[in-house]
Amino acid sequence: MTYKTFLTSFLITLGCVFPIQAKETPSPSDIQLGAVKAAVVELNNGNTLYSKHSDWQTPIASLTKLMTALVVVESGQNMDEWVMIPKPDRETRKNAYSRMRVGSTLKRKDLLRLALMSSENLAAYTLAHSYPGGVDAFVSAMNQKAQSLGMQDSRFVDASGLSSRNLSTAADLVKLVEAVAKHDLIREYSTTPRYTAYFRKPRYSLGYGNTNRLVHRTSWDIELSKTGYITEAGRCLIMVSKVDGKDVAIVLLDAFGKLTPLGDAGRVKRWLTTGDGGKVAGAALRYEQTKSREYPHQYDKVSSF
């Protein structure tokens, strides 16, 4: 018997005597999150690892832009076309500042990148404005896509997410994540750390950074990202990240302060790898508890279609 044959036989025998145990899924009771609504799902098999109030309908702010991106990418429009920046609509003009100059032009693919990575609201509005049939047709396409994905508790009224009437649930947003994650372009654009956009008519350039600071960290392997915030929605975050070699979708809705969604993401990662879900800071925890008590009296589900 050769040494190699002996070693193989020994290892097989050892495995029988001391069977290797599969890693157990950590218990949801061992993790605490500051987000009022949340869902954590393995994308490869759809296994729900964690869920909290995932059926509660709520404003989703700029997470809306993931649906905007999906409609644009699947529309067949020329991504290299130069698109004119229009005068913003009332919602965009009222609630968001943009450095882009009205009347200048930028390639559609760059508008999409800025809308995803930097949450540029006028870029999102421009994408809808340049869609065949204009903004109304674009919003209709968003709702039709939501229906086709089975997002029955979702409704969209604009492309940027500035309106509090853009509504969804954590469970519905997992379905959206599953759809957008199939598009390499959306994955790439949403996780771009920094980008310089070059405009024409007139010529100028603007630098942008990703609104999710975790994409800059080498300790994270993030494959999809989108942040969101308006007062009615609280702080929101969607990510797909490799955790223990698995693609894990993390949906966090309505958290207190800029740091809470980032902390929640870290707690999810640590919980999945070590079983330790950590603790939430006092102010964030009080916010979560107050909003959880108030929710049933604030929102009644609105039919999407």
Active site residues: 62, 65, 119
Question: Which residues in 77-114 are b (16+ Cβ under 10 Å) and which e?
Answer: beeeeebebbebbebbeebbebebeeebbbbbbbbbbb
Give backbone dihedrals phi and psi of 239, rounded to 5 degrees, phi first.
-140, 150
Contact 165, 155 (CB under 8 A): yes
Tokens 């039919």 correspond to 303
Give the number of other Cβ atoms within 10 Å of residue 3's Cβ. 7
What whole-number distance in Å separates Cα of residue 151 and Cα of residue 304?
8
Which residues does 11 contact at the CB level (< 8 Å), separation at least 6?
none
Distance of CA 60 to the CA centre of its chain: 10
What whole-number distance in Å separates Cα of residue 34 and Cα of residue 266?
12
